[in-house]
Each structure stands twice: as C-alpha cells, then as structure tokens.
Amino acid sequence: MSFPKDFAWGAATAAYQIEGGAGEDGRGPSIWDTYAHNKKIDLLRNRMNILNGDTGDTACDHYHRYKEDVQHMKEMGLLAYRFSISWSRILPEGRGKVNEKGLKFYSDLVDELIAAGIEPYITLFHWDLPQALQDIGGWLNPEMPDLFGKYVKVVVDALSDRVTYWMTLNEPQCHIIIGHIDGECAPKQRVTDRQGFYLIHSILKAHGKAVRIIRKYAVKKPQIGIAPNPSAYYPSTDRKEDVQAAKKMAFGITSRNFWCSTWWLDPIFLGCYPEDGIHIFGDDFPLEMIKPGDMEMISEPIDFLGCNFYQGTEIRADKSGEPVIVPRKPGFDMTAFKWGVTPQILHYMPNFLYNRYQIPIYITENGLSMADWVSLDGKVHDPQRIDFMQRYLLELKKAIDDGTPVKGYFAWSMMDNYEWSNGYTERFGMIHVDYETQKRTLKDSAYWYHDVIKSNGKSLLIE
C-alpha cells in the first residue's frame, strides 16, 4: 500500500488567504484588497462582493505568526508546504522598486521551513494581481507577460538558492473566467468572449515567460510546474466504454465555454489551442492575437503538472459510446460548501491527463470545507475530513498503481483561511483558526494526516 518513495506529502495555502499584514512594511494593494473593501451591494448579484464584508486585512495573521505556523506544520509531519507569494508585497507598484522587507518575509519563511525539514513549493501567482497593474489594464495590457517575468526574476534571485519547486500560476481558469468573464471575483470585469481569449493568451504567455526566467536564473536546478484546476470527470463504472466517455468529456469542447482544460493545457503541452473549441467560437476566437513566437513561449517545457481537484461529474457512455452526464442522486454526499464527494476523480483524472500530456503529476490541492468548531473538550473533531481524504487518497493510489507518475499530494488547506468571496464562512483547514484570538488548534485530521505521512500511506488501509 505504500506510496512511492519520496512522495511529497504536503499542504497548501495562498498569500491573500492567510497572511494579513495588508498595509504593512510597504506592501502595495492587490485587486483582492480593492474588491474586498468595496462593500457596496452588487445589484447584479444582490450581495456584497464578499460575504459579511470580510477582508484579508488580518486573515490568519500569518505574516507575524509564520514561525508558530511552521512549528504546527512540523507537528503535523508535513514534508512539503505549498504557499504563494504576494506580488504586491515584493513590488508594491507591480513593477519598479523592490520592497526589501517583503522579500525578507519570504526568505525568512523559506529558512524556517527548511530548518523544520519541510520542502517549500512556491506558487508565483495566486490571483492577487497588484492593483497598480490592474489600473493599467491588467492582463489585457500587452506588457503583462514581461512584467510578470520581471517580478519572477526578483523572486528567483532572492530564493532560488534554497527553493527547487516552482509553480507559475494557480488556477488561471478561475482567475480569468470568474474574475473577468463572469465578473464574480476580483477584478470584477465583464469582458466579451474575444477579450476573454486575449486574457487567456496573455496569462499563458506570462506562464511561459516565467518558465524561461526560472530556468535561466535559478541557482538550484528547478522543477517547474503550473497548478490549474482541470475540469474533472469520472466514469460510472470501470467498463472501457464508460472510461473512454469520461476521458472524451474531459478533453472535448462541445459548447461555448472557457472551462474545458484543453483551452489551458493544450497550448502549454501541445503548443496549440484546441481545434474543436476554435471551431465552436468561430470569429470570436481572435486568431490575430497569436503572434510569431507566442506558442513557443507558452509551450516552453515544464517538469510537472499540478492539479487542484475537489469534485467532478459522473459520466457514462450511451449506446454509441458518446458521453452522458449522470445526474447526482438525491442526498448525494456533500461538503459544507455543497461540493460533491467524488473521490474517483483522483483515480481517473491523473490517468487521463498523463495519458494526454505525458507529464508527472502533483495533486496541488484537494480537501473540503466543513462546519468545524472547537468542542467542549478543547479539540476539533472533523471525522468527515478524515473520511474524505482517506477516500480520495485511496483512489489516488489506484492511479499510481496504474502507472501514472503522481509525485505528491497537497491538502487544501494547511489551516482555515479566507475563502475568497465567501470570506471566513468556509473552513478548509486541518488547523482550526479562531479569527478573534488567532489561536490555532490542530484538528483531528491533522493528527490523522501525520500518521498517513509517517507510514507513507500504509495507514490509509482500512483493517
């Protein structure tokens, strides 16, 4: 039952969701500061941007408490920790003058992690674009890939003597689609489909630019990846027909939407946008946006594909083998966020992705929010998180047994944090955070995960 030797057992967070220290030591505002501080009712959605008007001003106060947090990670036995860097803490204006205090924070965090025996995995962009760059057009500004590259160079110069693992972007799909096309997250734009493609192309170019910079300047030989959230599907049964149908669904574009993984991953791994999607969008796919050299930059080789997986859609094959969505039955198992419990995605999706792109895979996020509180006994009992993770990890092992190179698993999240538009209402952590007192309490799942890590997965087997 053991997982592969050197499997990276970890947990993940992101800067705006945990750091706080929003106005401190020279940090500039990001689009999430602006979005969260706008407390007017959005008439289209009949609600404030963030539930309760919560902001990330203080969040988990990790900016001041990172040493304590690293000790908790050590207590949990984490071997790896994925965190993101706040661009506007490093470059308050998004470009130009470097904020040395901001850089020092991350440098100290890296030292602390290494001293605790925890491997740092850095995400360079987790949605918190500097507001100053949004003010010049954000990702629609053609300078953005270069500006991202310059920021990445500053980080690489400061940390690559100790950091090996780099992820360029977190869930670019959510950032671009929800933030710019649906307009329900920062920066709250509602652009046309054509502009949507310009945004996708721009952020993918930024990814490619960053890969080149890391490869060229990193001191330690880097391992470079990206952490998107591929749309997830799983077959009703393991019959060949159903598995093929689920795979077809995962990579086929049959309607006008931007979520299909191939919009995001084919350019990176195959060097082109998907033909079926281009056909569906017709004239709304702006072919003229692709300039000579762009696709080469976007498809600059990387070392791994990170995947954030939470829930998926069940698919079966109809008589002619075509995919059909199987609706969820009444009473389907749900997390607090009303996301379905669908562990099979960790078996099938890594297989599908490896089969198509031939690249080692990390699960860079997986987990659930639950209504956790501190019980009268002072502990936080979260049996459903344990059961959820156990189910998902047992499925992941099947992918490994099928021969898919899965290199690591990062639980979302190391601790409770700011769940974007849902503020502090969703608790995803294995460590409970009391936001009034900033007291941390390891949940039962943290101790359970400790044993999973220590046994390299053996303890997942049910006796």
For position 308 contacting ligand NOJ by CB under 6 A, the verdict is: yes
Q: Which CB, 412 or 449, lies closer to ligand NOJ?
A: 412
Q: From the CB of 34, what's the least distance to ligand NOJ, in Å? A: 18
| 398-417 residues near ligand NOJ, rule: CB under 6 A | 412
Nearest Cα to Cα of residue 363 among 403, 400, 408: 408
Count the residues in the chain.
463
Q: From the CB of 174, what's the least distance to ligand NOJ, in Å? A: 7
**How many Å apart are CA 325 and CA 248, to the nearest integer?**
12
According to CB under 6 A, which one of 61, 419, 421, 457 is a site residue for ligand NOJ?
419
Tell me which residue has tokens 């941390």.
Answer: 440
Q: What mask of x and - would describe binding to ligand NOJ in positions 132 to 161, judged by CB under 6 A?
A: ------------------------------
Answer for the pair 462, 6: CB distance below 8 angstroms, yes or no: no
Nearest Cα to Cα of residue 110 among 164, 64, 149, 167: 164
Q: Which CB, 14 or 211, lies closer to ligand NOJ?
A: 14
* 171 flagged as catalytic: yes
| 11-70 residues near ligand NOJ, rule: CB under 6 A | 14, 17
Answer for the pair 89, 27: CB distance below 8 angstroms, yes or no: yes
According to CB under 6 A, which one of 61, 266, 365, 382 is a site residue for ligand NOJ?
365
CB hemisphere CA count around 398 (13 angstroms):
15
Q: From the CB of 227, what's the least distance to ligand NOJ, in Å? A: 7
Q: From the CB of 254, what's the least distance to ligand NOJ, in Å? A: 25
H/E stretch holding 112 reads helix 100-115
Q: Which CB, 120 or 457, lies closer to ligand NOJ?
A: 120
SS3 content of the chain, % helix, strand, coil (to 5): 45, 15, 40
**How many Å apart are CA 389 and CA 310, to the nearest integer?**
11
| 339-358 residues near ligand NOJ, rule: CB under 6 A | none
Distance, first Cα to last Cα, the chain: 12
H/E stretch holding 48 reads strand 47-48
Q: Which CB, 62 or 95, lies closer to ligand NOJ?
A: 62
Tell me which residue has tokens 């996020």.
Answer: 365
Angle 100-115/144-159 helices, nearest 10 degrees?
50
Binding residues for ligand NOJ, rule CB under 6 A, total: 9
290 exposure class (CB count in 10 Å sphere: 0-12, 13-18, 19+) = middle
Q: From the CB of 427, what's the least distance to ligand NOJ, in Å? A: 11
User: How many C-beta atoms lie closer than 10 Å to residue 381's C-beta?
Assistant: 15
Q: Which CB, 366 or 441, lies closer to ligand NOJ?
A: 366
Q: What mask of x and - would describe binding to ligand NOJ in positions 159 to 198, judged by CB under 6 A?
A: -----------xx---------------------------
Annotate 427-450 with DSSP letters as a single string: B--SEEEETTTTEEEEBHHHHHHH
Q: Which CB, 69 or 171, lies closer to ligand NOJ?
A: 171
Q: Which CB, 158 or 411, lies closer to ligand NOJ?
A: 411
Active-site choice (171, 314, 395, 426): 171
Instruction: Write the CA distances from 392 to 87, 208, 388, integer angstroms.
Output: 33, 31, 6
Q: From the CB of 403, what's the least distance to ligand NOJ, in Å? A: 28
Q: From the CB of 386, what's the least distance to ligand NOJ, in Å? A: 18
Active-site choice (365, 395, 419, 426): 365
Tell me which residue has tokens 């502009």.
Answer: 195
Q: What mask of x and - would describe binding to ligand NOJ in positions 93 to 132, judged by CB under 6 A?
A: ----------------------------------------
Which residues are marked as active site? 171, 365
| Binding residues vs ligand NOJ (CB under 6 A) | 14, 17, 170-171, 308, 365, 412, 419, 428
